[in-house]
Structure 1
Amino acid sequence: MKLTLNHFFILFIILFSSQTQSQTTGNSIKASIGFASSASYYIENYGSQEEVDVMGGGLYLQGEYIIGSKSWFSVRPYAGAIFTSVDKNQNIQNQPQYKVTTNAFLLGGKVRFCAPIPWVAPFIEGGIGTSIGKFETFTPNVNFNKSDVLLHIPFSIGLAVGRHNNFEIGISGYFHPAAKQSNAVFALGYTFPLD
Structure 2
Amino acid sequence: MKLTLLRFIFIISITLFSNQIKAQTTGKSIKASIGYGASSSYYTEDYGSQDEVDVMGGGLYLQGEYIIGIKSWFSVRPYAGFIFESVDKNQNIENQPHYKVTTNAFLVGGKVRLCAPIPWVAPFIEGGLGASAGKFETFTPNVNFNKSDVLLHIPFSIGLAVGRNHSFEIGISGYFHPAAKQSTGVFAVGYSFPLD
Partner of 1:39: 40
Partner of 1:180: 181
The CA distance in 1 between the partners of 2:108 and 2:65, in whole Å, is 10
Give how far 1:164 is off. Answer: 0.4
- For residues 146-192 of structure 1, the C-alpha deviation after alignment (integer angstroms, 9 at most, x for no partner) is 00000000000000000000000000000000000000000000000
Partner of 2:74: 73
- For residues 2-57 of structure 1, the C-alpha deviation after alignment (integer angstroms, 9 at most, x for no partner) is xxxx79x949x64973523573110000000000001000000124x231321011
Letter in 2 for 1:50: Q
The CA distance in 2 between the partners of 1:151 and 1:90, in whole Å, is 31
Partner of 1:19: 20
The CA distance in 2 between the partners of 1:39 and 1:50, in whole Å, is 15
Letter in 1 for 2:113: R
Contact 2:136/2:147, CA 8 A, preserved across alignment: yes
Contact 1:89/1:97, CA 8 A, preserved across alignment: no
TM-score, length of structure 2 as denominator length = 0.90
The CA distance in 2 between the partners of 1:20 and 1:167, in whole Å, is 17
- For residues 67-93 of structure 1, the C-alpha deviation after alignment (integer angstroms, 9 at most, x for no partner) is 001000000000001111101234311
SS in structure 1 of the partner of residue 96 of structure 2: coil
The CA distance in 1 between the partners of 2:96 and 2:122, in whole Å, is 48
Structure 1 residue runs of 4 or more that deviate by more than 6 Å after TM superposition = none
Partner of 2:84: 83
Q: In structure 2, do the counterparts of structure 1 residues 91 and 30 end up closer, same or farther at CA, with 3 Å as the change threshold?
A: same
The CA distance in 2 between the partners of 1:16 and 1:44, in whole Å, is 52
Counting matched residue pairs gives: 187
The CA distance in 2 between the partners of 1:30 and 1:16, in whole Å, is 27
Over the aligned positions, Cα root-mean-square deviation in angstroms equals 2.0
Q: In structure 2, do the counterparts of structure 1 residues 44 and 21 end up closer, same or farther at CA, with 3 Å as the change threshold?
A: closer
Unaligned residue ranges in structure 2 (runs of 5+): 1-5
Letter in 2 for 1:88: K
Q: In structure 2, do the counterparts of structure 1 residues 27 and 18 end up closer, same or farther at CA, with 3 Å as the change threshold?
A: closer
TM-score, length of structure 1 as denominator length = 0.90
SS in structure 2 of the partner of residue 82 of structure 1: strand
Q: Percent identity?
A: 80
